Amino acid sequence: MEKTKVVKFPMTILGPIRDFLSRKEKKLIKRKKTLTKEDPFTDVSRLADNAAPDTEAAEQTSHARVSAMKRELDRNLIQVRKALTRLKLGKYGICEKCGQMIDTERLMIRPEATTCVKCETKKEA
């Protein structure tokens, strides 16, 4: 029976990737906090305000925009944290679906990628 050799990225490559992902995580958290402050529904004075219908509509629209942006930030945060965890476990760059190496070009574009292009394409189909 032939043993398959597990290929890992060298630490000289993984160190900068970990630093990049950590910085990205901090930026996403900071952006999420900023968005929370921009949400008109977080303004406590709004509760006592008897706003005109046009103001209420603007607040609803703004709240919906902020909520959508926060959901997208949450998705990005999850991906970055998964990649950081995979780095710690020594599984970074290996597809979590098929176990094959993720193409380095894909990782250069999306360092937080946890699946190869082939598996990602299957998921989207």
- The number of domains in the chain is 1
- Model pLDDT for residues 82-103, shown as the tens digit of each residue: 999 999 998 999 999 999 999 9
In a domain, 96, yes or no: yes
Apex 42 CA angle, 52 and 82, nearest 5: 135
Give the pLDDT score at 38: 83
In a domain, 3, yes or no: no
Question: Do the Cβ atoms of 95 and 101 come closer than 8 Å?
Answer: yes
In a domain, 6, yes or no: no
Cβ neighbors of 60 (< 8 A, separation 6 or more) are none
Q: Is the confidence at residue 49, as pLDDT, over 70?
A: no
- Owning domain of residue 58: 11-124
Classified as helix, coil or strand, 96 is coil
* Residue predicted with more confidence, 38 or 25: 25
**Residue 34: CATH number of its domain:** 1.20.120.910
In a domain, 5, yes or no: no
Q: Would you tell me how many other CB atoms lie within 10 Å of the CB of residue 107?
A: 19
Nearest to residue 90, comparing CAs of 19, 16, 18, 4? 18
- 44 pLDDT tier (thresholds 50, 70, 90): low
* Residue predicted with more confidence, 55 or 38: 38
